[in-house]
Structure 1
């Protein structure tokens, strides 16, 4: 198989040349569909990370001095450039991650949507807010939002372009610099997006790309950051959160999930089956919000299961750079082996495979079939751990209360889905589930794609959120600028404190009655 025409040696050289690296070490980037080497990706060391922060801080001082309107202008140009170059990004993503082209293109749209939202919302979110001060009329207090400085952003391989560029966008518009560490398996498409930002007018050096394994440079990224944005596993999130806390810097941690979906008695099965298939097998199941547990009422289980299995079997797998396949490859052989291990453990302990359960070496080294299991019990790894592949399990329930209890029986709390014709009743069920994102009659896109609202996880699924006002405000510090027009806060030395106390109490009571404070 030949690479897409856009992925030329010249382009690869330019993209790999954007990595800050003096170590002399490299990582072999391979085409997932074939396992063949594409290029060598330079690797950074802790010294390179420190140098990257130094360069980003110098550029950030210039960037932060620009009026917001000028910064937004850069992002408007970036938005237009990405509209024209989105399929090149998709080419690079497919080469690196093996995902279906449909999914790769949709991922570029996430960045377009986030950019467009913050272009419009930033002036409102970041505007100064003037309040009455401690003493009415003679004092004021103004909230002023200032950038944190340089954000350390660590992104994963499953949605590399979105979690890098979409998470960087509000940080940049707010006036920050960024030191960005994509995963080694997915750096090229991210670097292309950063090139477009520079082409749009970003000051040189404002975004720095460093590459390497977490144990090698992860600590250095957190150590030098003014804020940390991390998307990845819960285990790694705990380590990063602890280090950020030790350094007294804030962090957002978007972590794992074992996401449930409940099919209520009155659900429209045509919609529920199609929606559940999409939410389960999108991106080959490599999505932290995808569905890994399906709960169906006993009355509807047989019909739902039959139709769901048939739909899973109809999914078209393929290793092509066109829009024909519904589903692509897993990202690596190691990930395929992890998924296989979860399935084998379940089958060995009594689970039943209704469809799939096997790799597809005829298509590529990391392909795995869409897989549906039943008879899954709590002692199986697949019942509790995040599988992160095209695998789901179907369970039954007798009552809605039981369904909710089963959905909540997990350490995770990222995403949940409820299907029912009575939307109010379905929403009421969804509100009882302990998850940061609740979708009624949809699997995950309805909540995640609502960029005006925040998106985050509960329990072991994370700390903080992205999107909405909070997704930008987290990248700022607030200054309280208080102005006293006349000195009325200092008492003279001969103050009669008995009278002063009475006067103060009377004044506070009056201000409460008048609604002043």
Structure 2
């Protein structure tokens, strides 16, 4: 594995990078105080407290982030509700126009967005681009399909012609969004775009480690023409702000751990409000006997090590058919060892550092435990403090057994385990083992056979000849988890309908649905029964 040269600048307008490459192997990036102040001014925070924010690229400080308290939660929801009342009356065409302006702003401001994502999360620039592109795709999709999802829909009435049914999509009100650090731009913003399109307001709490990136997204929404009070931002620990947010939300969208998701689900159930939860995963990738080995090896590298494995849909278990196992392993290991590692904002890096000391400790603990119990390291296996404080090499393990922590527990880091299989039914059973069911991938030259196998895998998304991008990037397709990987779906019609209440409006014409003109109830029943038989013969639903 090779390390990239440190950048001499950020490639965008935000930062300056004074450093001495001869004495410091890492770049040092500094955000302008005025820029930080313009972003953090959008946080509803009156506690007077701040917390420091530093970059995983080099550990250097980025900002002091104002902290919100319980009174700020109440104020944020007050502002949001006031803004939502008028926003819900805004014509759909105006909402769509603002969303398309936001789409263009994301593309126009790419260098700025990618710089900030890299500074806060440490991820490679190519993976930061995935976030910006996904956010733009989501904005354009809901702007262009708003009428399809939200217009009043006519349905058949109980009495043809005499009964008219209209189904409306009514906004829920104020949506609470609690977003993670691993994809700080798209996870903080994209889930809220359909909420806005449906006529809701948003109160969001982005993760403390990546709050600036989320604030930049909110700034771009305002520049696109969305009312400022429509999207409120809180900053602070989830244990302090989470419950007050849920107590005031009309719907909650959460992306994070399964343990926290269970708590949120219980709290939402107590209030009889809905929630969508994208939670943990231990995602499998199957390489079938007829797979293109080179394509599978390339795809497995991206599936396992994009964003240093800190991706909910990242592959952590690789099941490879006997017939291609040795060839696949040789190519997979070679491609992994050829990756360019670096803690800079350069495009050339294939992988950046982990986001925190906690994530690094989890990765090291999983690898050390596996090796101590007999697993073999085929690539990587070591922390790389020479590159960044929280850097760990992309690691491939073989011989992982059920008594090892990484066998069933989510690592959420650049570690993948290899397993050989002979029988495809056995591989499917092993892929379904455990409690998670978020994402899976299948590599095969026979697309029809792979799609048939996909139906047998208990995951919310399955990708054929791709690790995760085919489903994640196709925003008309629903995305979410089965079993302990979550509930509800983002993207597609499900992704916007979750933020609406379905309202049926029935209009009765001429005759009432009851005996008419002095008719006896028994006679009315006989006529209705005859009518039902006729409708059935006519093939009516």
TM-score (norm 1): 0.97
* Per-residue deviation, residues 208-246 of structure 1 (Å, max 9, x unmatched): 000111111111111111111110111111111111111
State the shift of 1:511 in Å.
2.6
State the match for 2:325 in structure 1: 301
Q: Is the 8 A contact 2:301 2:332 kept in 1?
A: yes
Pick from 93, 103, 111: which aligns with 2:117? 93
State the match for 1:176 in structure 2: 200
Pick from 500, 506, 512: which aligns with 1:476? 500
What CA distance in whole angstroms lies between the structure 2 residues aligned with 1:27 and 1:14? Answer: 17
What CA distance in whole angstroms lies between the structure 2 residues aligned with 1:284 and 1:256? Answer: 16
* Per-residue deviation, residues 382-434 of structure 1 (Å, max 9, x unmatched): 00011000110101112111111111112110111111122222222222111
Other structure's SS at 1:460 match = helix
State the match for 2:404 in structure 1: 380
Q: How does 1:497-508 map to 2 (within 5 A)?
A: 497-508=521-532
State the match for 2:282 in structure 1: 258
State the match for 2:303 in structure 1: 279
State the match for 1:389 in structure 2: 413
Aligned-residue CA RMSD in angstroms? Answer: 1.5
Q: 1:128 to 1:494 in 2, by over 3 A?
A: closer
Other structure's SS at 2:351 match = coil
* Per-residue deviation, residues 355-406 of structure 1 (Å, max 9, x unmatched): 2111111011011001011110011110001100011010111211111111
Q: How does 1:35-74 map to 2 (within 5 A)?
A: 35-74=59-98
Q: Is the 8 A contact 2:515 2:524 kept in 1?
A: no
What CA distance in whole angstroms lies between the structure 1 residues aligned with 2:540 and 2:293? Answer: 56
Q: Which sits farther off after the overlay, 134-143 or 377-386?
A: 134-143
Q: Is the 8 A contact 1:293 1:395 kept in 2?
A: yes
State the match for 2:247 in structure 1: 223
Pick from 92, 98, 115: which aligns with 2:139? 115
- Work out the number of aligned pairs and report it: 517
- 2:479 pairs with 1:455: yes
State the match for 2:163 in structure 1: 139
State the match for 1:510 in structure 2: 534
What CA distance in whole angstroms lies between the structure 1 residues aligned with 2:464 and 2:516? Answer: 64
Q: Is the 8 A contact 2:121 2:184 kept in 1?
A: no
- Structure 2 unmatched ranges of 5 or more: 1-5, 15-30
State the match for 2:440 in structure 1: 416
Q: Is the 8 A contact 2:92 2:197 kept in 1?
A: yes
State the shift of 1:495 in Å.
4.6
Q: Is the 8 A contact 2:451 2:464 kept in 1?
A: yes
What CA distance in whole angstroms lies between the structure 2 residues aligned with 1:265 and 1:494? Answer: 75
State the shift of 1:279 in Å.
0.7
- 2:414 pairs with 1:359: no
What CA distance in whole angstroms lies between the structure 1 residues aligned with 2:457 and 2:328? Answer: 22
Pick from 331, 343, 346: which aligns with 2:370? 346
Q: Is the 8 A contact 1:272 1:419 kept in 2?
A: yes
What CA distance in whole angstroms lies between the structure 1 residues aligned with 2:516 and 2:461? Answer: 57
Other structure's SS at 2:503 match = strand
State the match for 1:445 in structure 2: 469
State the shift of 1:487 in Å.
4.4
Other structure's SS at 1:143 match = strand
Q: Is the 8 A contact 2:287 2:444 kept in 1?
A: yes
Q: Is the 8 A contact 2:313 2:468 kept in 1?
A: yes
State the match for 2:458 in structure 1: 434
- 2:173 pairs with 1:149: yes
Q: Is the 8 A contact 1:3 1:95 kept in 2?
A: no
Other structure's SS at 1:433 match = coil
TM-score (norm 2): 0.93
* Per-residue deviation, residues 299-358 of structure 1 (Å, max 9, x unmatched): 322221122111111111111122121111101111111110111111111111112111
Q: Is the 8 A contact 2:439 2:461 kept in 1?
A: yes
* Per-residue deviation, residues 449-480 of structure 1 (Å, max 9, x unmatched): 11111111111111010111111111111111
State the shift of 1:135 in Å.
2.3
- Structure 1 unmatched ranges of 5 or more: none
Pick from 268, 274, 284: which aligns with 2:292? 268
Q: Is the 8 A contact 1:87 1:105 kept in 2?
A: no
Q: Is the 8 A contact 1:23 1:45 kept in 2?
A: yes
* Per-residue deviation, residues 106-162 of structure 1 (Å, max 9, x unmatched): 210100011111111111111111223232222211001111101000100000111
- 2:329 pairs with 1:310: no
State the shift of 1:488 in Å.
1.9
What CA distance in whole angstroms lies between the structure 2 residues aligned with 1:432 and 1:289? Answer: 18
Other structure's SS at 2:44 match = coil
What CA distance in whole angstroms lies between the structure 2 residues aligned with 1:507 and 1:401? Answer: 51
* Per-residue deviation, residues 157-206 of structure 1 (Å, max 9, x unmatched): 00011111111111101110000110000110110111111111111200
